Chain A
């Protein structure tokens, strides 16, 4: 079992004719993902990697029965494409691009929540279910099937954790990138809830970083609702105050958003705080995870 992606997931790729969209469609297909179509307005009727391209999401849904979408759309056009996708009835959207204006994300989030759409990102590597399929850009070679869930604010660090676990023969049920912007389309606690309910997941790892209060707020949910073991790593203890560390959301402002504050909140909720990524292997061993 897994969360978000299963055998019924039929994916369209928005921005499929772009440089990144077409390369990533190739990798997603090679991993066994059911990519049933692509959308680029004005490029309908062509194909990319053997996948039919449509002019609109509505048409793509009608012709292919798609129920999920992954975005490789230039940042300036994401809001428009996102609203179109929700109107067309898609219920799962992964927004990979970075540099989307925060006030656009505010509108996207509000509309998605109102329509009951589960959306991830922006600035997310996407979702990967080992051996089954993926929506996004995660490099397949680092993942192995198993029963540990990973939620990460950072793309590359989700690969790092999956890689360390896979090397120690511990697999993953689903790996979810929640996005690295100051506002994300779904909060950490919402994703934790899916893992708590998933029969295929025995434990969850949170890979956080400085900035914002996602980890602090999730700690409240964990102490109230989570029965599965949770471990967390927070990157960025040497981040200077007031400097944006690559991600739009990774910034320590005054005394808020620090590694220390996040550690305290998570520890108080019974989460095992990992001082460094490599300790995830020992944690998995201690809980006999596989």
Chain B
């Protein structure tokens, strides 16, 4: 779960990281009031959970109430990369002498937490990693020993910084690392960390992404995970315990595995366009697949549905019962093609066929999607 910038800034502030004066506005009037309290100039930042917000026009600097009113109205009535702006963070504008980068994540390959710092802040760290890797310093944290402050000092010395900056910055690194541990973060990042004209440091942005698998054991106040999902079908998917990702095609997809689902999308995409990605995970029941059908059918103008399931950990014959029940109760007319292999496959095929589902018994998903394509093309002709 990724937190909004304003939520992450609150957490950073509670953990003694310096952050700008700010307030969250839900209306233009709110924004004018908050800016009046902070004092102009202020920066307006659209609170949407998407990267590249600045380049997409989601950040505006304003120096008086008129400018603010115009900019805030524009932000509230626009979409940033397809997302509606519901909240604007109104922030004190800080004097920037220099922009730094710092972040901590779990390095998937070494399997260890890693702290990254760079003197090139304010830009995408991946771009810096490619164009000038020497400007990034990284240090891995041994999980059996944890983090010690000397590691931050060593890291910053490597960037050739002066002692005063090393002292103030290494404190903030320690705080950020502690936050990442307490909040079970996948990513905790400040970009940019600004060096002000007076030499002080301040976190002008805040990223905190929490490990979904750890949410139930974090004993700290956190916002609701499901409520913040923007897309209604994706939100409903999370409620019933499956992963649904909305796409812009017209072929619905239900798969019993993530890899299989992605491969099915790849193959559908050769001649048609997938409407969604849906992965059930290992908990298939008749009821769950009934709900998956409901979910996929929420999307208007579907041409067909493709079901791709394996009976390894999943009782696919149970799943088939749920699909057929949905078809019969809702009198579904669009063609449905199913490939179902593994434990109790013959029984599963019988159940699917009883509901008018086209069953493909070959192993390759290509064969099943070819069948689906033929059916649709036949209907057109």
Interface residues of A, Cβ cutoff 8 Å to B = 20, 24, 27, 75-76, 96, 98-103, 105-107, 109-111, 114, 125, 137-139, 141-142, 152-160, 163-164, 166-167, 180, 182-184, 187, 207, 209-210, 212-214, 217, 233, 235-250, 254-256, 276-278
Contact = CB atoms under 8 A, between A and B. Distances in A.
A108 B166 CA distance: 33
B310 A217 contact: no
A106 B363 CA distance: 36
Given A101-B184, A246-B257, A182 B262 contact: no
Given A138-B312, A156-B310, A248 B212 contact: yes
B352 interface: no
B160 interface: no
- A-B pairs with lowest CB-CB distance, top 6: A154-B259, A156-B257, A246-B258, A163-B363, A139-B342, A246-B279
Interface string B177-216: 0000100101000000000000000000000000111101
Given A20-B313, A142-B342, A164 B364 contact: yes
B312 A237 contact: no
Given A103-B184, A183-B111, A235-B263, A244 B243 contact: yes
Most B CB contacts (10 A, CB to CB) among A159, A180, A213 go to: A159
15 contacts: A24-B313, A102-B214, A103-B214, A137-B312, A142-B342, A157-B259, A163-B364, A166-B363, A183-B108, A209-B262, A213-B108, A239-B262, A243-B245, A245-B245, A246-B257
Contact of B363 (A27, A164, A213): A164
The B contact surface, by secondary structure, is mixed
Given A20-B313, A238-B274, A250-B258, A98 B108 contact: no
A160 B257 CA distance: 11
A210 to B, nearest CB: 7
A209 B255 CA distance: 15
B124 interface: yes
A243 B126 CA distance: 18
B78 interface: no
Interface in B151-183: 181
Interface string B246-287: 010000000111111111011101100010010101100000
B213 to A, nearest CB: 4
A219 B108 CA distance: 16
B217 interface: yes
Contacts of A110: 111-112, 142-144
A236 B247 contact: no
Given A98-B281, A166-B363, A213-B108, A139 B256 contact: no
A254 B269 CA distance: 22
A245 B213 contact: no
Contacts of B106: 102-103, 106, 182-183
Interface string B220-258: 000000000000000000000001010100000001111
Nearest to B265: A238
B126 A255 contact: yes
B366 interface: yes
Contacts of A243: 245
B113 interface: yes
B109 interface: yes
A180 B258 contact: yes
A231 to B, nearest CB: 15
Most A CB contacts (10 A, CB to CB) among B216, B265, B279, B312 go to: B312
Given A103-B214, A109-B111, A156-B310, A276 B262 contact: no
Contacts of A101: 184, 211, 213-214, 217
